[in-house]
Structure 1
Amino acid sequence: MTTETQRARASKSRPLDKTWLPWGGTPSSRDLFCWYGIWLVFAYSFAMWPLKPWLIGTNPVLLEAMTGAQSAMTAAGAFARVGEAPLALVVAAGIFGMMKFAWVFWLAGRLWGENLLRLLAGSAQKGGTKRRLGLLTRNTPARRWIIGAAVVLEKVPMVPGPLVFASAGWVGMGLPAFLLLNLIGAAAWTGLFTGLGYAIGQPAVDIAETISQQAVWVSLAVIIGSLVVQTALSRFRAARRRA
């Protein structure tokens, strides 16, 4: 049985009855595992924001493993340049940090397909969001190649990682192929930003240590800024719905 046939049968047997869920009917254990896993990933990512200023100047290698952040990779590369961290460990931590949660969205895309893609893309599918979603869901022979390239280029601005990873699972990309493409992209980006930090050296270390010294105020600014942005976005969306 082909993947498309399986998906078609699943969609017929489990029609959506709640717009905010990617499945219909009674959820299976795999549905619940993926659903709570996705929310845990989002909660984890949000919880890491206040920690970044504390760790970037004290343990950037741990920070890049925990977050996969480009700033942490740059700082870790600079620490490697001055002999504060092994370069191989810096690269390995960056790759791990970028890849560690990608499989959750791949598995979710495998389970829920286009339902999940539309949920991740949001309800306001206009302009750029609608075009990107159409590119990922359009049934063309080139779609697999487009999604494969997007998995590698996931850190490029305007390429939303969760949406791309879920698309890879939906089109039937196997887990080994997905992880290989994700590894290629993670290694390339880690090498780029680690190399940048290594080239800068001590000045980047000084900046990172200064940020950590002011971590309390930077963390508070991050938290307050996040709340302000979220509030503004919520009001903007509410105004668009009323318009």
Structure 2
Amino acid sequence: MTTETQRDRVGKSRPLDKSWLPWGGAPSSKDLFCWYGIWLVFAYSFAMWPLKPWLIGTNPVLLEAMTGAQSAMTAAGAFARVGEAPLALAVAAGIFGMMKFAWVFWLAGRLWGENMLRLLAGPAQEGRAKRRLGLLTRDTPARRWLIGAAVVLEKVPMVPGPLVFASAGWVGMRLPTFLFLNLIGAAAWTGLYTGLGYAIGQPAVEIAETITDQAVWISLAVIVGGLVVQTAMSRFRAARRRS
């Protein structure tokens, strides 16, 4: 795995003028491109949540390409089993859905280094966030290989994808290497979930179609639930800052 040395990356952890920005001084065109790209990715991901119930029972292949969601991959595999979608297309769409935005966070780590990792880890550098940073920001050969493995295993619970991708950029992993490792992981996970749906077949199709039949209420519940969770988290953080 080709990497840069710590000295080569000195400029990538610039002192910050504002705690909520990952760069110091005047932003370059690359800074602005990457920063707005990250926010567009987050906005896109949020906007996709209400659409999932509408598409999972009608066009799960399109849904997995748009979201990279495991549930969509499983449904697509089931649709392929009953002859309503090509299996190869279901696998290809899942791989694309998982990989399409990963490079944005790799670029963020490349540009801003540990500053970006701290933003992604969360505002309170204690507990779980502190352990994540301790694991991902120590520049040793073992840590670089660990980050490479984490890129492959990004869908494992407790492995935060954006943080891992930014870490890969920060330690100097080349873009072709990063994309290759990301492709291995995406293909493995897509094959697993698509194969699961293919094995289940018609029952999974019926479940997906039932979800779509109730899409209006499910979408409303997702929107309301997301707003409630965000409000509760904001109040919790404000209370912690006051205490």
In structure 1, distance between residues paired with 2:59 and 2:196: 18
CA contact (8 A) 2:12 2:111 kept: no
1:1-243 alignment, distance < 5 Å: 3-9=5-11, 11=13, 14-243=14-243
Unaligned residue ranges in structure 1 (runs of 5+):
none
CA drift at 1:72: 0.2
- Look up the equivalent residue of 1:143 and give its one-letter code: R
CA contact (8 A) 2:74 2:193 kept: yes
TM-score scaled by length of structure 1: 0.96
Moved >4 Å (runs of 4+): none
Q: Any idea what the Cα deviations from partners look like across 1:118-170, whole Å, max 9, x if unmatched?
A: 01111112212211111000122211101000000000111000000000001
- Look up the equivalent residue of 1:225 and give its one-letter code: G
In structure 1, distance between residues paired with 2:224 and 2:97: 25
- Look up the equivalent residue of 2:100 and give its one-letter code: K
Q: Any idea what the Cα deviations from partners look like across 1:67-87, whole Å, max 9, x if unmatched?
A: 000000000000000000000
In structure 2, distance between residues paired with 1:10 and 1:208: 45
Q: Any idea what the Cα deviations from partners look like across 1:211-233, whole Å, max 9, x if unmatched?
A: 10111111000000100111111
Q: Percent identity?
A: 88
1:10–1:60 CA distance, 2 compared to 1 (3 A): closer
- Look up the equivalent residue of 1:175 and give its one-letter code: L
CA contact (8 A) 2:153 2:159 kept: yes
CA drift at 1:242: 1.4
In structure 2, distance between residues paired with 1:230 and 1:123: 15
In structure 1, distance between residues paired with 2:75 and 2:160: 24
CA drift at 1:90: 0.2
Q: Secondary structure at the match of 2:9?
A: helix
- Look up the equivalent residue of 1:103 and give its one-letter code: W
TM-score scaled by length of structure 2: 0.96
CA drift at 1:16: 1.1
In structure 1, distance between residues paired with 2:16 and 2:120: 16
- Look up the equivalent residue of 2:231 and give its one-letter code: T
In structure 1, distance between residues paired with 2:222 and 2:208: 16
Q: Secondary structure at the match of 1:169?
A: helix
1:53–1:174 CA distance, 2 compared to 1 (3 A): same
In structure 2, distance between residues paired with 1:125 and 1:74: 36
In structure 2, distance between residues paired with 1:57 and 1:92: 19
1:91–1:9 CA distance, 2 compared to 1 (3 A): closer
In structure 2, distance between residues paired with 1:201 and 1:90: 14
Deviates more, 1:14-23 or 1:209-218: 14-23
- Look up the equivalent residue of 1:28 and give its one-letter code: S
- Look up the equivalent residue of 1:212 and give its one-letter code: T
In structure 1, distance between residues paired with 2:197 and 2:90: 11
In structure 2, distance between residues paired with 1:179 and 1:44: 21
CA contact (8 A) 2:82 2:201 kept: yes
